[in-house]
Amino acid sequence: DLVGSAFVFPQESETAHVQVTAKLRQPLDNFTVCLRSYTDLTRPHSLFSYATKKQSNEILLFKPKPGQYELAVGNKLLFFTVPITLGESEHVCVSWESSTGIVGFWFNGKPWPRKGLQKGYTVGVPASILLGQEQDSFGGGFDAQQSFVGEISSVYMWDTGISHSEVVSALYDSPQQTPIFGWRNFPYKLVGEVYLKP
């Protein structure tokens, strides 16, 4: 149970990342990813990267600059503009459903206008899932200029959509719906210089 802890990425690197060791057996027609990040980076950086052998940006949650988040599904991109916060952690959730392509986005528990992407697509398995680096190949191809520096915590992934009340529950690390993996049962391996700290 990692509640009350965070992964700390102390410096820019092309190696440091957290490998999520959960094994996904089924391709995804829906997913939700939530996480909290705390950084003062102003350059582009990767938060959550899900790659398959065929597609390195199968799911990517990326921050190109302060005040903007990017979601890729099957290498197609969407952008969400958010307030620029200084000295505060940011909690985001993104959900996607294949049947409509609709993407939900929540910033610090507040829903943003929904958008659409990759209707009819299926997210493949097996996956290499990483925090803190962007994969340009399966489990590798990192660029230090896109590496995360700071703290990441409260990471969850579901193979379903998510309701507003569930987003709020994830915000407080008490999800009602069982995730594929989450902060209370988080399967991980640290690679390079990254630490789990209270």
Give me the domains of the chain, ranges plus CATH numbers. Answer: 6-192 (2.60.120.200)
DSSP string, 40-66: ---S-EEEEEEE-SS-TTSEEEEEEET
Report the SS3 class of residue 147: coil
Whether 116 contacts 103, CB under 8 Å: yes
Query: What is the model's pLDDT at position 173?
Result: 96
Query: What is the model's pLDDT at position 30?
Result: 98
Q: What is the pLDDT along the chain (198 residues), one digit of tens a residue?
A: 999 999 999 999 999 999 999 999 999 999 999 999 999 999 999 999 999 999 999 999 999 999 999 999 999 999 999 999 888 999 999 999 999 999 999 999 999 999 999 999 999 999 999 999 999 999 999 999 999 999 999 999 999 999 999 999 999 999 989 999 999 999 999 999 999 999
Model pTM?
0.97
